[in-house]
Structure 1
Amino acid sequence: MNRETDGTGSAVDAQDPRKQFAEECRSARELYPGGPLTQTELARMVRTSKSTISRVENCVGPIPAGLPSLLDQVFATDGLFKRLYEEVESRGFPAHSRPRIELEPRAVAIAEWSPTVVPGLLQTPDYARALFREGDPRASDAELASTVHKRMARQEILKGTTPPDFSAILCESVIRRRVGTPKVMREQLAVLLEHGKRPTSVIQVLPLDAGTHGLMDGPLSIVTTADGPPVVYTEGIRSGAIIDEPSQVRHLSRSYDVLTASALSRDTSAQMIRKHMEAL
């Protein structure tokens, strides 16, 4: 594989998507029809600062989540920067979770079951930070900030003009278990309530007295894309797996449907979440 240096003597993979993003940005700017754009001129066109463009082109720090789509508009690159950005982001996650991260931007429907914590797509920054801090007490503040940023960037798929249909079933223990300070937990529960009001989202709570069910082994996500059948993603503490064998997907999807029927209704779930939020 071809390798070159990044200017500091360190070897850099020539196929590194972060480096590709930087090179494509620089090249598109310099070859802009009508004459080269300065970093200041490009920054004005994409509503950011010259320093941000400079950092992006020099592979310094994260790429702002809203920048790729704006670059695609300015340079008419048909989603090139968006695709590179998604690859950059997916490589920043543990190897076992990358298949799911790569599927999310193409999803037309996502269904989540979580018996332990609020799903990543619904977490607040402070809730995520508290989880990551507890999971890795030796992480530096910079490492923690980077990890939280990556989790928040995933949530962009729920904020666009055409978000996927999203449903989540949370065990009652998820809303009872305090993560971080009471303030952090109140804010997290408030976000769940807001998500539950969206026309494309359904948030339900499975009460603790619901009894035995087929998904007690752990969390599960069912991701459906426009160009393929549904797949199931299961995850452990340090492992994850994509299940795409049709009979297994049908079996797990049926278990999720049964769980949906056993959970509280949207309105009753919201009442329970609000009750716990107000008690904090």
Structure 2
Amino acid sequence: MSGVEEESPRRRFAEELRSARELFGDKGLSQTELGRIARTSKSTISRLESTTGPIPPELPAVLDEVFGTEGMFKLLYEEIVAADFPALYRRRMSLKREAEAIWEWSPTIVPGLLQTEGYARALLLKGKPRATPEEIEGDVSKRLARQSVLHVSAPPDLRVVLCESVLMRRVGNAEVMREQLAALLEHGSRPTTRLRILPLDAEAHLMIDWPASFLTLRNDVTVVCVEAYRTAGIIEEPEHVRPAVRAYTDLMGEALPAPQSATLITEYMEKL
């Protein structure tokens, strides 16, 4: 086994988990006992300690709670997820972790930050029809892991504008869509989040055909992250960021207020 592999976040996760389990209390814990305490299975604990298969995204926080490790497993998990992405995506994820404010715009689908597990799985299955179930579940875990930025003690201020077509577009079956729309309502009810819907009859605008994330960092610098098919970009030049920010501000002005947006989401959910 190489030194690089031994020092990898995944290997460290496995070693820290085994060590914490064996040193727990006076006698340690068996894999079965830890599985029961952590509300998972012995086979899952065994997999994690042998570095095989995906890590359930909710489990690192549970392990930190069980062992009192103050976020160590959650941090290692985020490093594991980041290491699986190309350099540009890793930088984008790093910027999101640093952001004090995140603005999201999507004309097509629910942004990854707000996707439910079922919605994410349905999208990934369409995008990778030849992938194995294990590969799909691994990709789902990675996508959900990116949402950890919203579940810290001081989450960023989140502003989301979705085109009404996002509510209309069926991803997965009716139950998947109901669950996703209900999740949007839950997100919109949080004190740090504002979620608005842009009606279909709104005027054309600069960002009509591309999604974007606006990340405002602690130094008040804003960058714009954009994506297309198998490509992505991070726009940092002020002369390009400024018009994009103006366009997003215009979108906010055209979008329905938060209460009316919630009513519209509920109407679409009830039609399913």
Task: State TM-score, norm by structure 1.
Answer: 0.81
Alignment match, 2:111? 119
Partners of 2:219 and 2:195 lie apart in 1 by: 26
Partners of 1:97 and 1:225 lie apart in 2 by: 17
Alignment match, 2:136? 144
Pick from 97, 101, 121 the counterpart of residue 93 of structure 2.
101
- Sort the Cα spacing of 1:185 and 1:67 in 2 relative to 1 into closer, same or farther, 3 A: closer
Total equivalences in the alignment: 271
Partners of 2:62 and 2:177 lie apart in 1 by: 34
Partners of 1:34 and 1:22 lie apart in 2 by: 19
Superimposed CA distance per residue, residues 76-101 of structure 1 (whole angstroms, 9 cap, x where no aligned partner)? 76655433221101223455533222
**Unaligned runs of at least 5 residues, structure 2:** none
Shift of 1:54: 3.7
Alignment match, 2:154? 162
Alignment match, 1:186? 178
Partners of 1:244 and 1:15 lie apart in 2 by: 33
Shift of 1:74: 7.4
- Sort the Cα spacing of 1:53 and 1:129 in 2 relative to 1 into closer, same or farther, 3 A: closer
Pick from 34, 54, 60 the counterpart of residue 52 of structure 2.
60
The code of the aligned residue for 2:153 comes to T
Alignment match, 2:259? 267
Shift of 1:75: 7.1
Task: State TM-score, norm by structure 2.
Answer: 0.83
Q: Percent identity?
A: 50
Shift of 1:136: 1.3
Superimposed CA distance per residue, residues 120-159 of structure 1 (whole angstroms, 9 cap, x where no aligned partner)? 1111222111111111111112211221122222223323
DSSP-derived class of the 2:196 partner = strand
Higher mean C-alpha deviation, range 161-170 or range 111-120: 161-170
DSSP-derived class of the 1:252 partner = helix
Whether 1:91 and 2:90 are equivalent positions in the alignment is: no
The answer on whether the counterparts of 2:78 and 2:145 sit within 8 Å (CA) in structure 1 is: no
Alignment match, 1:3? 2
**Unaligned runs of at least 5 residues, structure 1:** 5-11
Alignment match, 1:251? 243
Shift of 1:204: 0.7
Partners of 1:144 and 1:94 lie apart in 2 by: 18
Pick from 13, 27, 34 the counterpart of residue 43 of structure 1.
34
Pick from 242, 245, 257 the counterpart of residue 234 of structure 2.
242
Partners of 1:34 and 1:197 lie apart in 2 by: 41
The code of the aligned residue for 1:195 comes to H
- Sort the Cα spacing of 1:139 and 1:53 in 2 relative to 1 into closer, same or farther, 3 A: closer
Alignment match, 1:9? none
DSSP-derived class of the 2:225 partner = strand
Whether 1:222 and 2:214 are equivalent positions in the alignment is: yes
The code of the aligned residue for 1:142 comes to E
